Chain A
Amino acid sequence: MAKGILIAVSIGIATVLLIVIGTIWPVSTAVFFAGGPGLGGSASTPIAASRRLANEIHQHALAKAYSSLGNKAQFTEQEFVSDLTGSTLSLRTYATLDTYEVRPLHESANEAEIALRMHWSTVVGTFEETRDLHLVKNGDHWVVDWPLVKKPVVPPQVFAVNYLRWDVIYRGAGDDWGSQDVDAPHVRIIDMHPVNRAEGVVVLGELLNEDVVPAYVSVRATLLAKNGSVLASEDSFDKISHTLLPKQVTPFLIRFPGVDISQIASIRMDPISVLVSASADPVIEVQNQKFNGPPAASLNGQLSNQSGQIVNIAHVLTTFYDKNGQLVWVAGQYIDRALLPQTPVDFHIPVPADLAKNIANERTVVASYRSGSSD
């Protein structure tokens, strides 16, 4: 009997102990489901307080994050949420905080500056954002002053809209085989240049719609070996502006990971074009582009939506040329905030440092996505 009691009590105690251990030092998977490391951690140091805030953002526990802020009296919870998720449908709306890094910039007994670098995951890829947090010691813990980015206010105004769009009626399935159909738009590759990079070969180029109708385009490149066999075949995926209006030019970039340029005898380029319905709007101006040379080479600038429509997601694609006008590189960036009318939004496109010294000029195009639009 005593042995039985001992066993029962031992099992009970061991179970409780194991649960306590599993809760205090959870396994990595449990940490993942509980919202990441540092969950519910203390705010006894500026770093810890910053991490706690980042974890709450990671968990989408934004109300909790807001309540922990030191400067929450300066803005509402809704403004805080809009700051993180965007006030209009944009990449931010459904973004999840994938990882983050905190880096102390300055620390004194009662104040600290921390750089919080956040890596957001979105459906089109990741984007990064750095916020410089100001922290103040409050008793035995630190509180974060959130650097709110004020929501832009679009002044009331009227945009004269002169709609210009193309609609297409294709031949019907039941039409006679001799019936006429509309031809695909004429497009032409006006430049192509393979570049050997550490990760493999990259094929760069530019494609022109030389027709008078809009084209939905894509480019496929096939690498052929010296014996004529196909080494690899890839397409431009999202490194191209797929909708080209008449006489519009888009850059494209096609990656071939793991292939060295010495293996290639020739490259077969297959541009694909389809006649599609399209709209000439919106017009997006690329303003104040400035190329910064190495070591942190990048192109900075602003996008300004010239139309009255909101552009939910914009994709900036830039072609970089050398002083002879030859292609050097193609790079792009998705804009995480919606483009409101006449409201400039910054962009920043990093450029490989080794190529930056050759860059003398650039040309930027913008592809746009509007929710609910089929253009």
Chain B
Amino acid sequence: MRGLLRGTVKRTESVAPAAPPIPMYLIIMAAFAIHLPLLIKELPLASYDANFHIFFASHYVHHWFNPWNLKWFAGFSQTTYPPLPQQWVALISRLIGLNMAYMAVQMAVIVLLAVGVYRFSLLWVSPRAASFAALASVFLGSESFLVYSAGQLATTSAAPIYLNALPFLFQWVRYGKWRSFVKASVLFTAAAAAHHATLIFGSFFFAVPVLALVFLDRGDDESASTSGVVARTVTIVVFVAIAIAIVLLPFWISLIRYPVTQTPIPHASRANYILSPQWGMNYFVVPYGALILALPFLVVRGAMVPRLRPLLFGFWLAFLVGLGGTTPVGRVLLGRAFEVLTYERFSYWATLLALPILGSITADLVDRFHTRAIIPLSLLAAGTCALAVSWSTFHPADAANFDVQPVAQWLNRDGHYDFRYVTLGFGNKLSRLAVLTRANSVDGESNSARMLPELTKYGGGALTSSKYYEKAGLDSLRAMLHHADHYGLKWVIVRDSYYDPLLHFAGWRQVDSLEDKTITIWSKDGVPPAVPMNSEQIPPHWQGVLWGTLPFGSSILAILVLLIPESRDSEWDEDDTSVAQANLLSGRTV
């Protein structure tokens, strides 16, 4: 942590004596005060994807070096998803169990985000403004939305690591400090090990503005000649690309051998938020919260201060893409990938990019209006956070909360686990059930990992939610039930009588019921016991060893290199006054 806090570009925003920044320990305490009780209450378990990550982690608990997981899709490789946060959950679960391990990792990520936002903001604004940005990250609606509603542990883990890497990128490209090169490279690699998409898109939204800042800031700095900057940029890009290629080698091999060619699955983040206001509420109002009120001021401040313009453009682009189908930008920029990606994370990145400018505005408001600014700003921040946290209650991932333990117990007894099963109407309880049972399923929640043609051909999501995908989902379900014998699929566990007619006419019999008959179990006669499938997709042992070693190792290495102290170098530490001049101008415009 000390290494992270040091080694940043020290800047002054005004020639006048400035108010001090908020101490980082206070910001971290605020993060703990707000998020720790919520995490101890295990609120993220009600989110869309938390149980998905816990399921992956549960596999790493038992099979750290074997990414082949039999519990979903009749067997699939976990090398289809970067493993870092899940492996940390698996490791910590040895001490405190899976659920609390997840919460612990999520808490660490929230703290790391505050630090990362502070360090990233220091590139653009004064330490005081950066500290306000860091404090704002604790209340950030998009962060709370991803943590408590979406459960996107990977995205929320990768972004802070990435933000912490960017100042080192700046130092390397501008000043050529090898120590920064090493730190930036290791952190970028660790970020990719947490979530590859963050690195790919972060390069455009975050790194390009930072590189542009290097050009803007270099002035007469001899060490930052154009050719030198370009050479250093190319050097780190190549090095990091190679490092990521090696660290996530099994992931790339899997992606190349089995590219994602399945029919795109609809995702509401691709909606037009005006034509579909319910999704606008979910993917725009909740993540942005009171930041929506600040958008005009963010644009004006970002445009008026030349140093902030690269950041503004990065924010704007992420903002437009994050609007999903509300504008044509995402479709034009991403092409077919538009139909594969989801856009709540772009809004998350946009809000992160907005934070330095927001911090700058906030600092000005507080310095000028004191309590009259602090009170409304605090209320807005608290309201934003509260809305995003409570959104999982207003708009739950599952309409009904129910206990899957009895289902797991049923599957775990009397040899029921010799056959595969599929659930209907379980929503994202599917992952929780998979954690608890030893039986294997043909269904699962990881769309990129599934290979069975019955699942990839039609454009439906998880079978358990087939009806929500209408014809595509139901076609997929019928195809799977039709081939039940092939997969050893004997049990269909139903929590939605909508599916009963299909099972009735397709040759399944209700054989048991659980939980006061709210869950029924249907069986097909003559189904042979399940046998291993997809064997050609099983990663070889060496890939398992790499997968268990390098991604996690990259995070350990990142912690170690951050312990290397930064040398004080006045060349880039003290002499840069361009920002002060610019911010003086901006101070008058707000």
Partner-B contacts on A (CB < 8 A): 1, 4-8, 11-12, 15, 18-19, 21-23, 25-27, 29-30, 32-34, 39, 91, 94, 96, 98, 121-126, 173, 216, 218, 220, 233-238, 240, 242, 270, 272, 274, 276, 312-313, 315, 334, 367, 369, 371, 374
With A27-B338, A96-B470, A235-B485 known as contacts, the answer to whether A367 contacts B505 (CB < 8 A) is yes
B323 interface residue per 8 A CB criterion: yes
Our pick among A126, A233, A274, A367 for the contact of B509 (Cβ within 8 Å) is A274
Per the bound structure, the CA–CA distance linking A4 and B302 in Å amounts to 8
- Interface contact A237-B482, CB-CB below 8 Å: yes
Our pick among A7, A126, A236, A371 for the contact of B303 (Cβ within 8 Å) is A7
List of A residues within 8 angstroms of B498 by Cβ: 94, 123
Chain B, Cβ-Cβ closest to A273: B525
With A1-B585, A235-B485, A238-B507 known as contacts, the answer to whether A272 contacts B304 (CB < 8 A) is no
- Interface contact B526-A272, CB-CB below 8 Å: yes
Per the bound structure, the CA–CA distance linking A216 and B503 in Å amounts to 13
A sample of 21 cross-chain residue pairs with beta-carbon separation below 8 angstroms, ordered by A number, consists of A4-B306, A8-B303, A15-B319, A19-B327, A25-B328, A29-B324, A33-B271, A33-B275, A34-B276, A121-B471, A123-B499, A124-B502, A220-B526, A235-B485, A235-B507, A237-B482, A237-B506, A238-B505, A242-B504, A274-B509, A369-B501
Given A4-B305, A29-B324, A33-B271, 20 additional A-B pairs, CB 8 A: A8-B303, A11-B299, A19-B274, A22-B323, A23-B326, A25-B328, A33-B266, A33-B325, A34-B272, A39-B275, A94-B498, A96-B470, A123-B467, A123-B501, A123-B502, A218-B507, A233-B485, A235-B482, A237-B482, A237-B506
Per the bound structure, the CA–CA distance linking A123 and B471 in Å amounts to 8
User: Which among A12, A22, A25, A272 has the greatest number of chain B C-beta atoms within 10 A?
Assistant: A22
Per the bound structure, the CA–CA distance linking A98 and B472 in Å amounts to 10
- Interface contact B328-A27, CB-CB below 8 Å: yes
10 nearest A-B residue pairs (beta carbon): A30-B325, A33-B271, A30-B272, A4-B304, A8-B303, A7-B303, A34-B275, A18-B327, A121-B471, A29-B270
User: Which among B275, B312, B478 has the greatest number of chain A C-beta atoms within 10 A?
Assistant: B275
List of B residues within 8 angstroms of A8 by Cβ: 299-300, 302-304
Closest CB in chain B relative to A47 CB, distance in Å: 22
Closest CB in chain B relative to A173 CB, distance in Å: 8
Per the bound structure, the CA–CA distance linking A62 and B262 in Å amounts to 34
B99 interface residue per 8 A CB criterion: no
- Interface contact A23-B271, CB-CB below 8 Å: no
List of A residues within 8 angstroms of B505 by Cβ: 124, 238, 242, 313, 315, 334, 367, 369
List of A residues within 8 angstroms of B499 by Cβ: 123
- Interface contact B271-A34, CB-CB below 8 Å: yes
Per the bound structure, the CA–CA distance linking A123 and B272 in Å amounts to 28
With A94-B498, A276-B509 known as contacts, the answer to whether A12 contacts B296 (CB < 8 A) is yes
User: Which among B268, B296, B303, B486 has the greatest number of chain A C-beta atoms within 10 A?
Assistant: B303
Per the bound structure, the CA–CA distance linking A177 and B529 in Å amounts to 22
- Interface contact A121-B325, CB-CB below 8 Å: no
With A94-B498, A124-B502, A218-B525 known as contacts, the answer to whether A29 contacts B474 (CB < 8 A) is no
List of A residues within 8 angstroms of B276 by Cβ: 30, 33-34
With A12-B296, A313-B501 known as contacts, the answer to whether A29 contacts B525 (CB < 8 A) is no
Q: Mask for B303-345, Cβ within 8 A of A = 1, else 0?
A: 1111001001000100110011111111100000011000000
List of A residues within 8 angstroms of B500 by Cβ: 369, 371
Q: How many A-B residue pairs have CB under 8 A?
A: 164
- Interface contact A21-B328, CB-CB below 8 Å: yes
- Interface contact B585-A32, CB-CB below 8 Å: no
B235 interface residue per 8 A CB criterion: no
List of A residues within 8 angstroms of B306 by Cβ: 4
B88 interface residue per 8 A CB criterion: no
- Interface contact B526-A22, CB-CB below 8 Å: no
- Interface contact B509-A29, CB-CB below 8 Å: no
B279 interface residue per 8 A CB criterion: yes
B481 interface residue per 8 A CB criterion: yes
Q: Mask for B478-511, Cβ within 8 A of A = 1, else 0?
A: 1001100110000000000111111011110110
Q: Report the count of interface residues on B (CB-CB < 8 A).
A: 61
Per the bound structure, the CA–CA distance linking A11 and B414 in Å amounts to 65
Closest CB in chain A relative to B82 CB, distance in Å: 26
Partner-A contacts on B (CB < 8 A): 266-268, 270-272, 274-276, 279, 296, 299-300, 302-306, 309, 312, 316, 319-320, 323-331, 338-339, 414, 467, 470-471, 474, 478, 481-482, 485-486, 497-502, 504-507, 509-510, 524-526, 585, 589
List of B residues within 8 angstroms of A234 by Cβ: 482
List of B residues within 8 angstroms of A233 by Cβ: 485-486
Per the bound structure, the CA–CA distance linking A15 and B268 in Å amounts to 21
Our pick among B274, B329, B497 for the contact of A23 (Cβ within 8 Å) is B274
Per the bound structure, the CA–CA distance linking A315 and B276 in Å amounts to 38
Our pick among A33, A125, A237 for the contact of B268 (Cβ within 8 Å) is A33
Closest CB in chain A relative to B51 CB, distance in Å: 25
Our pick among B330, B470, B497, B525 for the contact of A216 (Cβ within 8 Å) is B525
Per the bound structure, the CA–CA distance linking A123 and B506 in Å amounts to 11
Per the bound structure, the CA–CA distance linking A52 and B485 in Å amounts to 44
List of A residues within 8 angstroms of B589 by Cβ: 1, 4
List of B residues within 8 angstroms of A22 by Cβ: 272, 323, 325-329
Closest CB in chain B relative to A305 CB, distance in Å: 17
List of B residues within 8 angstroms of A126 by Cβ: 471
- Interface contact A33-B279, CB-CB below 8 Å: yes
List of A residues within 8 angstroms of B502 by Cβ: 123-124, 238
List of A residues within 8 angstroms of B268 by Cβ: 33
Our pick among A19, A39, A123, A236 for the contact of B323 (Cβ within 8 Å) is A19
List of A residues within 8 angstroms of B485 by Cβ: 220, 233, 235
Per the bound structure, the CA–CA distance linking A122 and B466 in Å amounts to 11
List of B residues within 8 angstroms of A220 by Cβ: 485, 526
Closest CB in chain B relative to A168 CB, distance in Å: 12
- Interface contact B325-A26, CB-CB below 8 Å: yes
- Interface contact A1-B304, CB-CB below 8 Å: yes
- Interface contact B328-A124, CB-CB below 8 Å: no
- Interface contact B299-A12, CB-CB below 8 Å: yes
Our pick among B303, B478, B497 for the contact of A125 (Cβ within 8 Å) is B478
With A5-B303, A23-B272 known as contacts, the answer to whether A18 contacts B328 (CB < 8 A) is yes
List of B residues within 8 angstroms of A369 by Cβ: 500-501, 504-505
Per the bound structure, the CA–CA distance linking A1 and B482 in Å amounts to 68
- Interface contact B471-A7, CB-CB below 8 Å: no
